[in-house]
């Protein structure tokens, strides 16, 4: 099979904004330690077609191929299409038969633990703020770093809400988790060292942000939107 494989019926371009699909495929494949041959076997395609997708920025595989690739690479379909990079979530159309499902506490924690950025709703002196924050889940609580003079630091000693979500534009599905609780500063040196060691990343905002804040939950809830197929 040649590198530039012939287009098949399932390769009709999907409508809507497209990103560099090939770049996403190559990056995720390398993260998983897969060869093109191994990925092709998972997808049910040929290695030459995987190479074609990775090396051609204009490649636009159809929805069937994209779904198989997303499953094989263990990633969301919208992320594979590159939609996550430049567009705000929520511009897609609602599905025809959506259903809203409540998440259990265990499911809520599972989803919280897979994310590194959430949004904190804070009643600051200047008025309510909603700010995005890098966070960690440690010992059944949310912990994040900030600077003593930054807006997130005003959460200390107050009751705050913390939210994470994930939206798949292509499949019109998603979920959200809301945690509410009391925020307090972490001052114990040993606990601070442990949080620093467990943090996956430094603050995306950069700068000196060495103040840890912990949110101990008194309520946790979540919802998931799923799409039921027509029978």
Tokens of 116: 């590194």
How far is Cα 212 from Cα 136, in angstroms, rounded to an integer?
11
The residue-averaged pLDDT of 70-95 equals 70
Domains of the chain, earliest start first: 9-86 (1.10.260.40), 98-227 (2.30.110.10)
pLDDT, tens digit (0-9, with 9 covering 90-100), for 88-142: 566 666 767 788 899 999 999 999 987 688 999 998 778 888 999 999 999 899 9
How far is Cα 159 from Cα 25, in angstroms, rounded to an integer?
42
pLDDT, tens digit (0-9, with 9 covering 90-100), for 156-208: 999 999 999 987 766 677 899 999 999 999 999 999 999 988 888 888 778 88
pLDDT for 218: 95
| Residue count (the chain) | 231
């Amino acid at each position: 099979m040649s590198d530039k494989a012939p287009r098949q019926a399932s390769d009709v371009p999907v409508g809507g904004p497209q990103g560099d699909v090939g770049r996403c495929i190559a990056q995720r494949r390398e993260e998983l330690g897969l060869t093109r041959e191994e990925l092709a076997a998972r997808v049910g395609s040929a290695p030459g077609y995987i190479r074609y997708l990775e090396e051609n920025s204009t490649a636009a595989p159809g929805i069937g191929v994209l779904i198989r690739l997303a499953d094989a690479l263990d990633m969301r379909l919208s992320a594979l299409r590159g939609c996550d990079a430049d567009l705000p979530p929520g511009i897609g159309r609602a599905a025809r038969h959506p259903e809203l499902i409540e998440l259990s506490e265990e499911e809520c924690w599972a989803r919280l633990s897979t994310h590194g950025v959430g949004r904190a709703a804070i009643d600051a002196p200047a008025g309510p703020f909603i700010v995005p924050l890098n966070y960690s889940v440690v010992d059944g609580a949310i912990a994040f770093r900030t600077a003593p003079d930054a807006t997130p630091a005003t959460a200390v000693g107050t009751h705050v809400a913390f939210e994470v979500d994930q939206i798949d534009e292509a499949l019109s599905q998603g979920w959200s988790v809301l945690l509410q609780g009391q925020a307090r500063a972490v001052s114990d040196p040993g606990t601070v060292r442990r949080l620093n060691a467990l943090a996956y990343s430094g603050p995306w905002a950069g700068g000196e942000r060495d103040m840890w804040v912990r949110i101990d939950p008194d309520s946790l809830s979540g919802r998931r939107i799923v799409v039921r197929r027509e029978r």
